[in-house]
Chain A
Amino acid sequence: MTATFLILAAITIAGTVAAMAMRNLIHCVLALTLGFAGLAALYLQLGAQFVGLTQILVYVGAVAILAVFVIMMTQHPTQTTESIFSSFWFSGSLIAALVFAVLGWAIHSSRLPYGIAPPHAEAAVQPIGDALMHKYVLPLEIMGLLLTAALIGAVVLAIHEKRRSA
């Protein structure tokens, strides 16, 4: 538990808590982005450059912008007046606590050597690329196909329908 880790963890938790607690939806998205950035910084601190930078590229660059666009294109008031606690907060927090307990138990009872791992060489991009292109090439292709299908679907939804005039 170094000082850097504590600071980054504090930023991440503060960002995500603010994302739940703020009243203005756009503020929530910006706070969530702070949480994403904190998470990316945690990855970078662990030496996982590729994962950390991809986290920034995808979550800060794409997901946050997407969320912002969705909020602005749907006709909702951005400022909520009702309570920020929903009516089912009790069951929600119970489920969250249960999920956390299961995850904690799974991590605790796993065979991985836990504690602070010795700092090893930074996970280079090359091995990741090799693994993706050799061992996991089929899952990669399937994912590419899935994304292409989603892309075509989006275009079909958005395409301008031609009027059938005689």
Chain B
Amino acid sequence: MIPTPVQQADQIFVTLQHRLVSYLPAAFQSVADVILSVIAIVLVFALLFAVTTVLERKGLGRIQNRYGPNRVGPAGFFQPLADGVKSLTKEDLVPRTADQMVHFMAPVLLVLAAFLAYAVLPVGRNMVLANLNAGILFFFAVGTLVELAVFMAGWSSRNKYSLLGAMRAIAQMISYEVPLVLASIVVIMAAGSLSTVSIVDMQTGYSGIWPHWFLFTPWGIAGFILFMIAATAESNRSPFDLPEGESEIIAGYYIEYSGFKFALFFLGEYLGMFATSGLAITLFLGGWAAPFSFLTWIPSYLWFFAKLLLLIVIFIWIRGTLPRLRMDQLMSFAWQFMLPMTLINVFVAGVWHFMPAGVIRWGVCALVLVVPAFLLSRGLKQGKKFAARTYRFAE
């Protein structure tokens, strides 16, 4: 069967990789295949990191009524190049009392862990590095390496602020990992598989023009929202950016890093955000599938990256809008709201599975989710005063 031009465009990178690998002797082909994919992942997501830093600074600038970077290149879009050169030429400072070896290893481990997660993300049709049987489990397993890297950075710096930042970060990551995993369990229940590829394959169908994404179910919407909240906390972004609160602990666990190591921390953090967003896309937003059946002619990888950019824009928007939480608010939110809601969501996914399809199923499931959410938030509000604050010295 000859592939149509649309299929060719869709599979262009896959064909290119096969073509390139076929020039090599057979013994090296499988190794070269993997190396090519790894190079592609590293290049594409590092480039996305560069683009995102510009977008973020310009977006935040707009929100805060200023210009943002606009000097280097057209509209300031070559700013990351300048930043990269700057961080490469800066002096690499290591505190004298620091634990030299661990201090060096921490950023390396962080970036390594962040990149490992991409191995199981299907960025397009047939475009996944490793179709693991337990892909989701792999994703969360390498995610735990980040906690270790953060601890190594905070502890080895011998600085009380970095240690405080590391402690906050680890406490936060461990607390929000529970709702993150529980929110993705509903999809695993529905798909009956831990493999990212088969989860996406289950969402590629259409009824009429509407896609079969898991987002379009009551537990899917709830799961997606809970997952994104937990993902924001997991990647230490505003409003959950206490571990690096600049105004209180001066950027937390990476105070004592300068030059390129600092850039590596920055890279690792953004890569983590892209990876969790990518997982959210894979689980709830249909992966590389087009949102309407008449748009399937657009190549799959473009859809994946369009969705990824959309989620990144939402992240930037939230960062520009919400103030930082307090530590006790963060913890009580995780354990008193997120955890019960994810557990209820797991129950709802079970009910959905066993009820006959129809409007009643929708209504019952939505009701079981909305009522507890309302009651929980009412209950958590009790005994707290929400009055206009008075500032003693700032009026």
Contact = CB atoms under 8 A, between A and B. Distances in A.
Interface stretch (A59-67, A84-92, A134-142): A59-67
B170 A49 contact: no
A124 B141 contact: no
B141 A64 contact: no
Contact-residue bracket for chain B: 20 to 34
B155 A56 contact: no
Interface stretch (B12-20, B144-152, B296-304, B361-369): B144-152
A24 B138 CA distance: 31
Interface footprint category on A: 20 to 34
* Residue of A24, A27, A30 with most chain B CB atoms under a 10 A cut-off: A30
B174 A65 contact: yes
Contact of A64 (B99, B137, B138, B148): B148
Interface string B115-152: 00000000000000000111001101111110110011
Contacts of B151: 65, 68
A134 B138 CA distance: 25
Interface string A107-129: 00000000000000010111000
A10 interface: no
Contacts of A68: 151, 155
Given A50-B137, A68-B151, A57 B194 contact: no
Given A49-B137, A64-B148, A124-B133, 9 more contacts: A49-B133, A49-B138, A56-B145, A57-B141, A57-B144, A61-B145, A65-B151, A72-B155, A125-B134
27 contacts: A24-B99, A26-B155, A30-B148, A30-B152, A49-B132, A49-B133, A50-B133, A50-B134, A50-B137, A53-B134, A53-B137, A54-B137, A56-B141, A57-B140, A57-B144, A60-B145, A60-B148, A61-B141, A61-B143, A61-B145, A61-B147, A61-B148, A62-B144, A65-B148, A65-B151, A72-B155, A125-B194
Interface of B: 99, 102, 132-134, 137-138, 140-145, 147-148, 151-152, 155, 170, 174, 193-194
